[in-house]
Structure 1
Amino acid sequence: MNVPVELLAFAGVMALGQFSPGPDMLLLTRTALKEGAKTGVIMSWGIATGLAFHAALAIAGMSVVFERVDWLRDAMRWLAAGYLIWLAYQMIMEWFVHVYSGAVFEEPQATTAKSAYVQGLMCNLLNPKVMVFLAAVTAPFLAGARPDWWPWALWAVVVFEGLTLWALWALVLQVKPVREIYRRAGPWINLVFGITMVCLAIFLVAG
């Protein structure tokens, strides 16, 4: 086993998976644009905490049980869909108030650190597809004879990448031209994000 090569391969697959479109990316993108780098980075910590939990269960083999217990899987899907709908409602209402009140769009003060962390955590934690994805990705890298520490090396890669890449994404979104676009079209961007959240919720329940 070539440890550096396998870890790099695993890290590459995980990076692609984490940056695929989904609830985590959508929520973090909108939050970092709306409320700034600090709130976005704190939210990324919440997302990484959720990933740490999912990765531990996937590596421990609990994803098999999760997939076979239909009521548990379905309950998690409905909880996740409900949470996404609630987030979408908040985004769409911001657009509605702006358009129908004629108010000037202004970026509100950032939410508390605790609130941003909890939103990121819950968005990731309630999504059952995260554990299924992690189980599918880690399975080939767990096959065969491995040292005892190997599964937890994979877990560390998942958590470290989740924390650093999401935090970097929140910082990248602070580039002045990007911020200016959001300042000008914020309500409409919120509307698009809100509708996309609804679509993700429907896809999650139907999947």
Structure 2
Amino acid sequence: MPDAHQLLLFIAAGWLLNLTPGPDVLFIVTTSLRSGAKAGIVAGLGITAGCFVHVIAAALGVSALLAASATAFAALKWLGAAYLLWMGFKLLLARQPRELHDLQALAEARPPVPLRAVFLGGFWTNVLNPKVAIFFLAFVPQFIAPDTSDKAGVFLLLGTLFNINSVPVNSGWALAAAWMARREAVQRGMRWLDRAAGVMFVAFGLRLALADNPTH
């Protein structure tokens, strides 16, 4: 294991990275704005579960395969891009209430969002992004000493620590977004927030679709 200084540096770097807006944060915030804090926290837990898939894959060498194989990287890249584009267009084409009372009536009439669907949405948002796999492969080994005997085991421990530390950050995003959603000004602008989120998801999808294999 890294020494105390390296471990603290790893934790601090992980928190900063989790605070950086990206598709995961956008999914959490969008879910909380539309469905409340509980749904947003569940979305964050789904994203964390997806991160565990990447950590285990990286420890087993699957991420190295993605980094080395243009075909494997491209296949996962296009799946992830298609999923982000689908989410973006879904938000862009959603019914947009024009008045605050319309928004409130829509919220009251809308059936509760199944938390299982929210969890799986966060999970697939993360799993289908090969750049997350490459990130773990590039980031975590920097904190593993070259003379470590069980590198895969230490990788799993550090990856687990990174994912556990992401839970309070993701939950913070969810709670902040849910608090914002209760403000009247935010409610009045919800249709524009949906459209902005849709545009951002489409942009993330296009960015992922145009991403090069890391070996190129």
Cα RMSD after superposing both structures: 2.2
Change (3 A) 1:174 1:147: farther
Distance 2:149 2:115 in 1: 39
Q: Residues of 2 paired with 1:87 and 1:35: CA distance?
A: 16
Unaligned runs of 5+ in 1: none
Q: Does 1:137 align with 2:135?
A: no
Q: Which residue of 2 aligns with 1:122?
A: 124
CA 1:7–1:109 in 2, change beyond 3 Å: closer, same or farther?
Answer: farther
Amino acid corresponding to residue 163 of structure 2 in structure 1: V
User: Offset at 1:147?
Assistant: 5.8
Does the CA contact (< 8 Å) of 1:105 and 1:187 recur in 2? no
Q: 1:105 to 1:63 in 2, by over 3 A?
A: same
Residue identity matched to 2:165: E
Aligned residues: 204
Aligned to 1:13: 13
Task: State the alpha-carbon separation in 1 of the partners of residues 19 and 94 from structure 2.
Answer: 26
Contact 1:39-1:110 at 8 Å conserved across structures: no
Q: Deviations over 1:104-141 (max 9, x none)?
A: 22434431011010000000110111011111111211
Paired residue secondary structure (1:11): helix
Q: TM-score, normalised by structure 1?
A: 0.89
Q: Percent identity?
A: 26
Tell me the residue number matched to 1:77: 77
Equivalent position SS for 2:182: helix
Indicate conservation of the 8 Å contact 1:47/1:162, yes or no.
no
Relative to structure 2, which stretch is displaced further, 186-195 or 14-23?
14-23
- Partner of 1:173, secondary structure, is helix
2:89 partner amino acid: Y
- Render the CA deviation track for 1:14-71: whole Å, top value 9, x for unaligned: 2222222211111111111111011111111110000111122223333221111111
Q: Partners of 2:145 and 2:57 in 1: how far apart?
A: 17
Which of residues 193, 199, 207 is equivalent to 1:195? 199
* Matched letter for residue 203 of structure 1: R
Aligned residue number for residue 37 of structure 1? 37
